[in-house]
Structure 1
Amino acid sequence: MVSLAVANRVVMYYQTQYQNGQYVSVLPLIGYVTHLFLAAIHLNMGHTGPDIVHLNNNQPADPFFDPMWPELAQLQGNGTKVIGMLGGAAAGTYDCLVDSLFDTYYPALKDVITTYKLDGIDLDVEQSVSLETITHLIQTLKADFGDDFIITLAPVASALTEGGNLSGFDYIQLEHNIGDLISWYNAQFYSGFGTFFPDDQYIDIVNYDQGIDPPRLTALVLTNPSNGGGYVSPDNVVTSIHELMDQYGTDWGGVGGWEYFNSLPDSSQPWEWPIMMKNAMEEQKTKMEADARAKELAARREAEAQPGAWSRLFSRLSSSARHA
């Protein structure tokens, strides 16, 4: 029997922990999301001690997050990786990580990763940063946390073909230099920098320059049009999933959603979005397995028939020789 392992990811970004005063639980994501990205971690210039690092508007240890940390640990216990997202639209974080300030601000980030047992860090660089600064950060994280620590980057999609870019540095040059230290890219296919439907831009990124292999390219899309420009409906995301799996099999990077709390098709049950994505991948996997089994069966029948065909031909030739 043919068995195909699903290599692609279902990723959710989790920045809004409270909606209308009610905590937004992530427990319904267990079994459906492979990676949860906790957004957004910021470093604050001029602050000291624990106040250097904020998770959105509060220190990570603030009682505001008391319901969240045990749930994230429960997700991890059920196989979901929890990754901190560093940076984002609020500029300033990466100014704290230039060489002259690195030893002042990086230790506070390292302490948060260690204290909350994060499985990795997602570098969402939306300010001008030098190639040297981002390289130094990645190398230091890898040295401190080891080979199993996940390091991802979240460029706008066009940056991966050296087009529009919010980060300052060249991602293709970074990939050339230290691609072996980068687990994958969470490319933002929205806000005028790309679209995931149709899937042409995803394919263009895979084929550009030396190429980013499909397993290392996750497509981020908006889960609700109120989250930004360039929204793609869940049904259209599913269509692109099927088409990309037709092309790359199960060996591609999957999809991610920004963000969890108001995901459509039903914002009152935001977990339906990742369930749709996971189901789409499983359905396509089932179809591919059935196709592979059919091909195996046809090949086996052909192989089984072939010796008989040769035997019949040999008998006819032998009979002709005897009567000659």
Structure 2
Amino acid sequence: MQLPGHLPRATLIALVAFVTLLSTLLPATAFAADRGAWAPNTQYTVGDIASYGGKAYDCRQSHFSLVGWEPPNVLALWLERTGNPPPDTQAPSTPPSLTSTAKTFDSVSLSWGTSTDNVGVTGYEVFTNGGAAASASTSGATSVTVTGLAENTTYTFTVKARDAAGNRSSASTAHSVTTSPRPANDTVAPSTPANLASAGVSSSSVSLSWGASTDNVGVTGYEVFVNGGASASATTAGATSVTVTGLAANTTYTFTVKARDAAGNRSTASNSISATTTGTQPVGNKILVGYWHNFDNGSTNIRLRDISAKFNVIQVAFAEPVGGAGSGNMAFTPYNSSVADFKADVALLKSQGRKVLISIGGANGTVHLDDAGARQNFVTTMQGLIDTYGFDGFDLDLEGSSLSLNGGDTDFRNPTTPRISNLIQATRQLLNQNGSGFILTMAPETAYVQGGMAAYGGPWGAYLPVIHALRDRLTYLHVQHYNTGTVTALDGRAYAQSTPDFHVAMAEMLLRGFPVGGNTSAMFPALRPDQILIGLPSSPQAAGGGYTTPANVHKALDYLLKGQSFGGTYVLRNTAGYPGFKGLMTWSINWDKFTNFEFSNSHRAYLDTYP
């Protein structure tokens, strides 16, 4: 929640309380549909559409707007539209320097320079002789081999870049290549590669080497097969070693190699060898929690079993409602995976000592349990998902209108709003059904938790009764320190996301407790340090705002964990810090891979310095 920072704290509390009350009193039908440009001092209701900064937003919570509550600043209130009008209409730049790097009688290898885009390039498409796209590459890959061509034939290629909104660049400069003639009368396959051996392992890779094959014309390369499946890696002629990457930690893999020649003949498979990657769970008792998303949003696809060993807890996102937000019927379907393969991946991660949870809701999965029927449907269908996939627990990532306090619901210790009391009961029932080792986590937005100090009503503080009622079984609470406006802290100052001050101030509110709605007789009690993590975007692309550089995150953690000040504005109430503070959460594992594991590598190394 963003508040005008120059006002006295008492005035802020009174102002926000008035705004919240006004939001609950005004009829939901007072306004509707397209509201034009967003404006402050305006009543908005669920279903309204407002524009700001060239983008359109859907109202997620009825509220009275104030200066500083612009849609991109308060995503608890507004959700950027993905339909019409599209938020991104700018095409990427034209790919430069298209050229060929190799050719055979039936293939041409191409490379080109990178394109740029106002949001981000998601891939490239290669066109042959001006026709439809013949081949494509994923984001970041600026090379591809076009296969299935005719021998001794000239082909003309162009490349276009595309972004997540479907915009395509203009075509690159055309490049022509003539395939080689097919080697005459070559039906002889290369000899079998000899002496395949492992030359080294890491937690995510295996290096292999083998003896060279011979051929009556010439060996053009080798293909490496993993666990008997399709080719996982290849080498050019003359190279008799390769490092296979993207493997899971502490896992045994079986490898074979085949040689190939220019005529497409392949040798028989080499000897088979097995190698086990290193790494179990990270040392120390600080943890990394990561959300693995079950959809493609332009980041990257990653199989569950291939998640970095640096993550201790994996949140599978998301289980979503079917049959309407209020039905209580929850479902989950693995993306680009069979149910059997996904279950096997969950089991593999669990065998490595990691915890795999199913996360509920997310930004688009509105869930509200307004009556006993929806509550029972929720318990039944969630238990079915837990039993099917073997999840170790579940995560409440409820956003938008999933949780909102009704008018007159003023005591977080005794909630009267049905969708809140039903959620508490359903969660408690699932916890009891699955035993004491079953994990419960929550990932609320700041408005729903820390925002409850300045005002309590509607979305503000709506998670507090859920956290309070379940604190005895709550394993981890990792509030999203992103996609938020400024939030008032214990010192009465408003702090902005992406700063060390913000992370320290928001965390200490949960470690010390705070007055709900500014009422010192209604104190939200402190949680244990081992229950608290900070939620962060793993990359600038992962969230609308809130990305914090690793160096600034570590400044915040040094202060929180051991009281080592970085000289910021916020001053810890507990000057010695909180050594039991548990760690970090990120959205998301997929975006972390997209940025070459900046988040997991830097923060795992930092957290491992603590016992």
Sort the TM-score into its range (normalised by shorter chain). Answer: 0.7 to 0.9
2:548 matched residue in structure 1: 232
Q: How does 1:146-161 map to 2 (within 5 A)?
A: 146-161=435-450
Q: Which amino acid aligns with 2:603?
A: M
- Kept in 2, the 8 Å contact 1:7–1:215? The answer is no
State whether structure 2 residue 549 is matched by structure 1 residue 276: no
Which residue matches 1:187? 479
Which of 417, 420, 432 in structure 2 is aligned with 1:143? 432
* Partner residue, 1:8: 286
**Structure label with greater radius of gyration:** 2
Shift of 1:253: 2.2
Structure 2 distance, partners of 1:53, 1:178, is 21
The amino acid across from 1:54 in the alignment is A
Post-superposition CA distance 1:119-160 (Å, at most 9, x none):
000011112433312211221111211111001111113433
1:54-73 alignment runs, 5 A limit: 54-55=331-332, 59-60=333-334, 63=337, 67-73=341-347
Letter of the 2:362 partner, please give it. Answer: G
CA apart distance, 1:273? 1.8
| Offset of residue 80 of structure 1 | 0.9
Q: CA deviation at 1:249?
A: 5.3
Q: Which moved more, 1:34-43 or 1:83-92?
A: 83-92
**TM superposition shift of 1:66:** 5.8
Counterpart secondary structure, 1:33: coil
> Contact 2:442–2:476 at 8 Å: present in 1 too?
yes
Residues in 2 aligned to 1:235 and 1:256: alpha-carbon distance in whole angstroms:
16
For residues 170 and 254 of structure 1, what CA distance do their matches in structure 2 show? 24
CA deviations 1:26-69 (Å, max 9, x no partner) are: 4454531110000011021269xxxx5433xxx34984566544
Residue 75 of structure 1 and its aligned partner are, at CA, apart by 1.3
SS at match of 1:262: helix
> Structure 1 counterpart of 2:512, which letter?
N
Do residues 125 (structure 1) and 398 (structure 2) align? yes
Distance 1:255 1:284 in 2: 13
Relative distance call for 1:62 and 1:279 in structure 2 (3 A) is closer
Specify which structure has the higher proportion of helix: 1
Matches within 5 A, 1:54-93: 54-55=331-332, 59-60=333-334, 63=337, 67-93=341-367
Question: How far is 1:82 from its partner?
Answer: 0.3
Q: Following the alignment from structure 2 to structure 1, what is the Cα–Cα distance between the partners of residues 585 and 323? A: 30
Question: 1:192 offset after TM fit, Å?
Answer: 1.2
Offset of 1:15 from its aligned partner?
0.5
Q: Which moved more, 1:85-94 or 1:66-75?
A: 66-75
For 1:318, the equivalent position in structure 2 comes to none
Return closer, same or farther for 1:267/1:257 CA change in 2, 3 Å cut-off: same
Q: 1:218 aligns with which of 527, 530, 533?
A: 533
The separation in 2 between residues aligned to 1:105 and 1:152, in whole angstroms, is 17
Question: Residues 93, 282 of structure 1: CA spacing in aligned structure 2 closer, same or farther, 3 A cutoff?
Answer: same
Tell me which amino acid in the other structure corresponds to 1:269.
Answer: N
SS at 1:112 equivalent: helix
Matched pairs, number: 271
1:106 to 371, 379, 382: 379
Q: Which residue does the alignment assign to 1:301?
A: none
> Aligned with 1:244: secondary structure?
helix
> What is the RMSD of the two structures over their aligned residues, measured on CA atoms?
3.1
Cα contact 1:185–1:217 (8 A) shared by 2:
yes
**CA apart distance, 1:188:** 0.5
**More strand as a share of residues:** 2
1:24 Cα deviation (Å)? 0.8
Instruction: Output the CA distance in 2 between the equivalents of 1:27 and 1:79.
Output: 13
Instruction: Name which of 407, 417, 423 aligns with 1:134.
Output: 423
Distance 1:173 1:103 in 2: 20
Distance verdict in 2 for CA 1:72–1:133, change over 3 Å: same
SS, match of residue 93 in structure 1: coil
Question: Runs of 5+ in structure 2 lacking a partner?
Answer: 1-282, 404-418, 488-496, 515-524, 564-576
* Unaligned residue ranges in structure 1 (runs of 5+): 286-324
* Conservation of the 8 A alpha-carbon contact between 1:53 and 1:60: no
Q: 1:99 to 1:276 in 2, by over 3 A?
A: same
The counterpart of 1:241, out of the listed 534, 557, 561, is: 557
Q: In 2, Cα distance between the equivalents of 1:29 and 1:239?
A: 27
Pick one of 513, 524, 533 that aligns with 1:208. 513
Q: Residues 269 and 25 (structure 1 numbering): CA distance in 2 closer, same or farther, change over 3 Å? A: farther
Distance of 1:201 and 1:179 partners within structure 2 = 18
Q: Partners of 1:37 and 1:121 in 2: how far apart?
A: 8
Alignment match, 2:313: 35
